[in-house]
Chains A and B, each alone.
Chain A
Amino acid sequence: MSLRLLIVDDSRAMRSMIRRVISLSGLDVSECLEAGDGVEALEMVAREWVDVILADINMPRMNGEELVRRLSEMGITTSVPVIVVSTDGTSLRRARLMKLGAKGYLVKPFAPEMLRDEVERVLGVANAN
């Protein structure tokens, strides 16, 4: 299955880097959409189908925690899993995001195969729901 991914990060350089890692990961991706913050991500999800959302935490206007909470309230996270991509690997932060509705958590730095494994894992979780 060819995937449509949404990368949500306020850093253009980081979005480019994640695209690059995706291309090296071996995932079958047909399109990578991009949003610069949670507000843009919500607008994009309202008009475009995506299979997985990769979201940073620290962003202006609407951060990753608020984005996950809104998507969860809208019932979107049951069909579109969100993987949080963050430099913060602390157990409390991870638990907080998972409780809000994130299905995966990827700590920077990460290798291409770690991204692939997490995407495949959350798609398995999502398909089982």
Chain B
Amino acid sequence: MQTEMISDALGDAAQSVLETMFFVSPEGTAEPAYPQDVPLLGVGLRFSGEWSGTFELQTSITSARTLAEGFVGTLDPSEVEGDTTTEVICELANMVCGSTLTRLAGDKIFDLGSPHLVSLPPLPRVEAPPDSTATRALDLGFGVIAFTLTIGAPE
């Protein structure tokens, strides 16, 4: 599968999830880069089935908290401290991954693993042809969020 196709599906899925469930409208694509001193949050999950692979999400902790506030509908930062922010970002990863796979192959069946925190750099790559991985980063207006999908052989 071509990188461009994966990247477009990632971008469309992420845009839809962020707008519908997080009430955030991304301002366009961005470079998946962060200043050295910004603490980051990484979440990864594996999927298996007719396709197997990994999905990774990376953003700053500050942006993760802002996203969590939008998701749970609060203006009180104390409500999204710690575990709640992590849980929300795991849900975001789950939704973007599921939505991307549905867009790429709605006639196949997948099992999504549970999203979990990953130490950065994230999950080791699955064996995949060079054109079966793509990263799409979006400018949230208050930070950058990057998604990477790698598709390997069936499991």
> What string of 1s and 0s marks CB contacts (under 8 Å) between B63-99 and chain A?
0000010011100000000001001101100110111
Residues on B facing A (Cβ under 8 Å): 16-17, 19-21, 68, 71-73, 84, 87-88, 90-91, 94-95, 97-99, 101-102, 105-110, 112, 114
Q: Is there an interface contact between A13 and B84, defined as CB atoms closer than 8 Å?
A: yes
Q: Is there an interface contact between A13 and B109, defined as CB atoms closer than 8 Å?
A: no
Q: Is there an interface contact between A87 and B106, defined as CB atoms closer than 8 Å?
A: no
Q: Is there an interface contact between A111 and B114, defined as CB atoms closer than 8 Å?
A: no
Q: Is there an interface contact between A17 and B112, defined as CB atoms closer than 8 Å?
A: no
Q: Which of A28-36, A41-49, A69-77, A89-97 lies at the interface?
A: A89-97
- Report the number of A-B residue pairs with Cβ-Cβ less than 8 Å: 74
Closest Cβ neighbor of B89 among chain A residues: A13
Residues on A facing B (Cβ under 8 Å): 11-14, 16-17, 20, 58, 86-93, 96, 107-111
Chain B interface mostly? helix
Q: Which chain B residues border A107 with CB–CB below 8 Å?
A: 99, 102
Please give the distance in Å from B18's CB to the nearest CB on chain A: 8
- The 6 A-B pairs with the shortest beta carbon distances in the complex, nearest first, are A87-B98, A109-B20, A89-B102, A92-B109, A109-B21, A13-B87
Q: Is there an interface contact between B17 and A109, defined as CB atoms closer than 8 Å?
A: yes
Please give the distance in Å from A15's CB to the nearest CB on chain B: 10
In the complex, what distance in Å separates the CA atom of A7 from the CA atom of B24?
24
Q: Is there an interface contact between B99 and A17, defined as CB atoms closer than 8 Å?
A: no
In the complex, what distance in Å separates the CA atom of A103 from the CA atom of B114?
26
Q: Is there an interface contact between B91 and A11, defined as CB atoms closer than 8 Å?
A: yes
Q: Is there an interface contact between A108 and B106, defined as CB atoms closer than 8 Å?
A: no
Q: Which chain A residues border B112 with CB–CB below 8 Å?
A: 58, 87-88
In the complex, what distance in Å separates the CA atom of A89 from the CA atom of B94?
12
Q: Is there an interface contact between A89 and B108, defined as CB atoms closer than 8 Å?
A: no
In the complex, what distance in Å separates the CA atom of A109 from the CA atom of B18?
9
| Known contacts A13-B72, A109-B99; A90/B21 CB under 8 A | no
Q: Is there an interface contact between A93 and B109, defined as CB atoms closer than 8 Å?
A: yes
Q: Which chain A residues border B110 with CB–CB below 8 Å?
A: 88, 90, 93
| Known contacts A17-B21, A88-B110, A111-B20; A12/B87 CB under 8 A | yes
In the complex, what distance in Å separates the CA atom of A108 from the CA atom of B19?
12
